[in-house]
């Protein structure tokens, strides 16, 4: 039977797949790895993001998303109501509110993203899993770190893909951490999330539709569902097999061996709509420095699982 891709070279065989390295980071990160400034910034961004949701709560597209979510009862609260929905649908409806007005934070690397788009999935996952406040903070840090470091490393604009694409692995890992997935399950969650859900930038070209403000919410919905599938035992492959550089070529017109940046995010800024001055999500954070020192093809640079 013919192989789908050429056999890996010796160097590729030694390469630890990116999904596995990101999974090890997500699995091994502890609350003690976070400095006080990081924890405070997470709280600030959480409050700011909820404020953005309050502003958009009665927008027509947000109401539609909320009504759709509430049609399927579940364990996660739909923002602004006393009702609960399926975890991934609550994540979708809440992210729609948080993002729709476009007032939430902005991170600029090789392109611009709104990493607080991922907070809704973390909140829904935390409530479903009855997680502690500390576990929620860890999940939000994971989502920010993975999303922003991938934005620093890969430029998707050359291929016409949409910025929420890197929210897929970020949310899959954050939600999976809340579900207490193993490193292997986390890697599969990344694969499932990425394989069939890569969004196109057509959403932001020409006449803008409602979907422009909802694409990130959809990415979060898919990523939470991917984590649930991995938890149940399904496998997935994207950014995961040694020697498989397909995802890197498709997304960024570059091999997946591109190195991650060596500088911590204190050199970049996450801008909150509640403050005119940008502030880093994790200044001087040991966890951040470890992630930022990673390369897509080299050693992990991420904290070891504890």
pLDDT tens digits, residue range 208-234? 778 788 999 999 999 999 999 999 999
Q: What percent of the chain has pLDDT over 70?
A: 72
Q: What is the pLDDT of residue 208?
A: 75
Give the up-direction half-sphere exposure of residue 114: CA atoms within 13 A in the CB hemisphere: 29
Beta bridge partners of 107: 113, 270
Angstrom distance (rounded) from CA 156 to CA 231: 29
Residue 6's nearest CA partner among 241, 191, 231, 211 is: 241
Residue 168's nearest CA partner among 156, 182, 180, 159 is: 156
- Scanning the structure block, which residue is given the tokens 């910034």? 41
pTM for this structure? 0.79
* Widest pairwise Cα distance in the chain: 59
Angstrom distance (rounded) from CA 291 to CA 38: 14
The third-level CATH classification (topology) of the domain covering 15-292 is 2-methylcitrate dehydratase PrpD (1.10.4100)
Q: What is the pLDDT of residue 196?
A: 79
How does pLDDT run across 50-68, given as a tens digit for each residue? 999 999 999 999 999 999 9
Higher-scoring residue by pLDDT: 11, 83: 83
Residue-averaged pLDDT of the chain: 79
Q: Could you tell me the pLDDT band of residue 251, with boundaries at 50, 70 and 90?
A: low
How does pLDDT run across 125-182, given as a tens digit for each residue? 999 999 999 999 999 999 999 999 999 988 887 777 888 899 999 999 999 999 999 9
Q: Are 18 and 67 in contact (CB under 8 A)?
A: no
How does pLDDT run across 23-43, given as a tens digit for each residue? 999 999 999 999 999 999 999
Burial 68-106 (b: 16+ CB within 10 A, else e): ebbeeebebbbbbeeebbbbbbbbbbbbbbbbbeebbbb
Angstrom distance (rounded) from CA 275 to CA 28: 32
Residue 169's nearest CA partner among 83, 256, 97, 82 is: 256
The helix (H) or strand (E) run that includes residue 45 is: helix 36-56
Total residue count of the chain as it appears in this document: 306
Angstrom distance (rounded) from CA 37 to CA 71: 40
Angstrom distance (rounded) from CA 269 to CA 287: 17
Domain coordinates in residue numbering, the chain: 15-292
Q: Are 69 and 75 in contact (CB under 8 A)?
A: no
Q: Could you tell me the pLDDT band of residue 247, with boundaries at 50, 70 and 90?
A: low
Residue 25's nearest CA partner among 174, 167, 225, 155 is: 174
Angstrom distance (rounded) from CA 85 to CA 204: 29
């Amino acid at each position: 039977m013919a192989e789908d891709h050429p056999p890996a070279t010796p160097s590729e065989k030694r390469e630890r797949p990116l999904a596995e390295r990101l999974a090890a980071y997500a699995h091994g990160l502890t609350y003690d790895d976070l400095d006080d400034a990081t924890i405070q910034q997470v709280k600030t961004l959480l409050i700011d993001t909820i404020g953005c949701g309050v502003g958009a709560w009665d927008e027509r597209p947000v109401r539609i998303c909320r009504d759709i979510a509430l049609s399927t009862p579940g364990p996660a609260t739909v923002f602004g109501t006393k009702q609960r929905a399926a975890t991934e649908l609550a994540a979708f409806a809440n992210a729609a509110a948080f993002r729709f007005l476009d007032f939430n934070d902005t991170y600029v690397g090789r392109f611009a993203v709104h990493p607080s788009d991922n907070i809704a999935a973390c909140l829904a996952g935390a409530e479903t899993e009855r997680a502690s406040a500390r576990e929620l903070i860890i999940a939000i840090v994971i989502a920010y770190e993975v999303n922003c470091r991938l934005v620093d490393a890969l430029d998707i604009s050359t291929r016409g893909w949409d910025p929420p694409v890197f929210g897929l692995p970020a949310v899959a890992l954050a939600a999976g951490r809340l579900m207490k997935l193993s490193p292997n399950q986390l890697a599969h969650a990344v694969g499932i999330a990425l394989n069939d859900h890569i969004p196109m930038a057509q959403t932001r070209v020409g006449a803008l539709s409602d979907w422009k403000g909802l694409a990130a919410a959809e990415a979060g919905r898919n990523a939470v569902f991917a984590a649930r599938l991995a938890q149940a035992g399904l496998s997935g492959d994207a950014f995961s097999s040694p020697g498989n550089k397909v995802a890197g070529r498709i997304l960024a017109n570059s091999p997946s061996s591109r190195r991650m940046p060596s500088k911590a995010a204190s050199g970049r800024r996450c801008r909150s709509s509640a403050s005119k001055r940008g502030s880093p999500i994790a200044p001087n954070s040991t966890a951040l420095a470890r992630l930022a020192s990673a390369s897509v093809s080299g050693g992990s640079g991420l904290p070891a699982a504890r």
